[in-house]
Amino acid sequence: MKTFETGDAIIARHGDKGSWKIDADELRASLPPEQAQLVQTVISEEFPGMTDTPLTKEGILRSLALAESMHDDLPPGAVVVFSDSGKERAQLTRALVAGRVQQIEEHGAAEGKQPKLLDVLRVDSNEIARLLEDSHDATWTPYGAMVSAGTIEFDDALARWVNDMNKPNANIPADQHPRESSERYRTFLKLIKEKVQTAGKDAEIPVVFLGIGHSGSLEQVAFEEKGVDMTGEESPQYCEMFVFDKHGALIKRQETEI
């Protein structure tokens, strides 16, 4: 994957959806000590009182892996800006990714390495959170019921849903069509471009944004980019990065393995 450049924006799907009862011993058995401690610190400081996470344990591990993958491709001297949709599983994914990126930087400094990043920032904005929300759930209900019944896998249901919604005769209300959410995601990209230009269009500092979003909206983005029906294998995976350049063009999709 090419190194991120100034104005690049990444919209990643949140970590694995589900729940996990927080268990410090299980964390320590699953992660290196410093990462286990990071997870506990993030949860206690940013989500006080949480006893069950809105991500599975795999979702927590994948969020940390996303941070490492992203950090590898950041240009030296970059400012990284994190945001999310405001939904708890997206908030936790963002907090873990940002925390792990910062931890990697701190460990490098402790070992005498030159810091790679200039700063790691978090943006809490109602405007950005609204733009990163998932697609309207009204049209998803029958497809979700099939997934719950075990008659179809989630990825296949997601592909069938987006294909059905985009048929010429679908007759879906505009405010419920997944296109509404893909347009919001593209508005997010335009907003990011404007913020980069306003912050200092003559600056040499690379600025990279990561927004944590959702599968329905990203599925519609992928459908629009492809131009024909989607398959289940092409559905957005947990913590998959959709990388857009400063012009808003999708230039890369990258899955996050654990």
Does position 247 have pLDDT exceeding 90, yes or no?
Answer: no
What is the rounded CA–CA span in Å between residue 56 and residue 97? 15
> Could you tell me the two tokens for 224?
């629009």
Does position 25 have pLDDT exceeding 90, yes or no?
Answer: yes
Please give the share of the chain, as a percent, with pLDDT higher than 90: 74
| DSSP assignment letter at 206 | -
The CATH number for 9-254, chosen from 3.40.50.620, 3.40.50.1240, 3.90.1150.10, 3.40.50.720, is 3.40.50.1240
Quick one: which of 143, 149, 236, 141 has its CA closest to 185? 236
Does position 50 have pLDDT exceeding 70, yes or no?
Answer: yes
Mean pLDDT of the chain: 91
Band the pLDDT of 258: cuts 50, 70, 90: very high
Does position 94 have pLDDT exceeding 90, yes or no?
Answer: yes
